[in-house]
């Protein structure tokens, strides 16, 4: 089971279908394809609604906040300089990271068998 979870997460992080690892997972930026190009698996059955944004903000926050504090301690820039540096940087990193985290969540759901149908029961 542990190796299947790692396989699912690894394929999701590569933005590939968790079933086969060949087809693309997303059709658009964060839109999961209804059918895989390679194997035809329906990846929309795996829930990935709230976890990806939460995990993305958790990871980005834990990386960026220490850097912000370090810069403030070492350089002590003006507040407007801090905003000019950190706000765009955090926004870009968060948006760039979100598809990979969402792919990992879909891969984890695939590996553990969590589907939208099983959540309703």
| pLDDT of 85 over the 80 cut | yes
Q: What is the reported pLDDT for 17?
A: 97
Count of domains observed in the chain: 1
- Its pTM stands at 0.90
CB distance 50 to 102 below 8 Å: no
| pLDDT of 26 over the 60 cut | yes
The pLDDT-based confidence of 1 (bands split at 50, 70, 90) is: confident
What is the spatial distance between Cα 112 and Cα 3, in angstroms, rounded to a whole number?
11
Domain that holds residue 25: 2-120
Judged by DSSP in three states, 41 sits in coil
Tokens of 94: 């968060």
48-84 residue pLDDT tens: 999 999 999 999 999 999 999 999 999 999 999 999 9
């Amino acid at each position: 089971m542990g190796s299947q979870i790692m396989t699912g997460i690894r394929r999701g992080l590569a933005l590939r279908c968790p079933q086969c690892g060949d087809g693309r997972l997303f059709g658009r930026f964060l839109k999961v394809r209804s059918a895989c190009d390679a194997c035809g698996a329906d990846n929309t059955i795996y829930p990935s609604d709230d976890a990806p944004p939460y995990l993305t903000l958790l990871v980005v926050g834990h990386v960026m906040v220490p850097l912000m504090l370090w810069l403030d301690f070492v350089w002590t820039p003006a507040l407007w300089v801090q905003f000019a540096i950190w706000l765009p940087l955090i926004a870009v990193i968060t948006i760039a990271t979100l598809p990979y985290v969402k792919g990992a969540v879909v891969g984890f759901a695939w590996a553990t068998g969590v589907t939208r149908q099983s959540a309703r029961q």
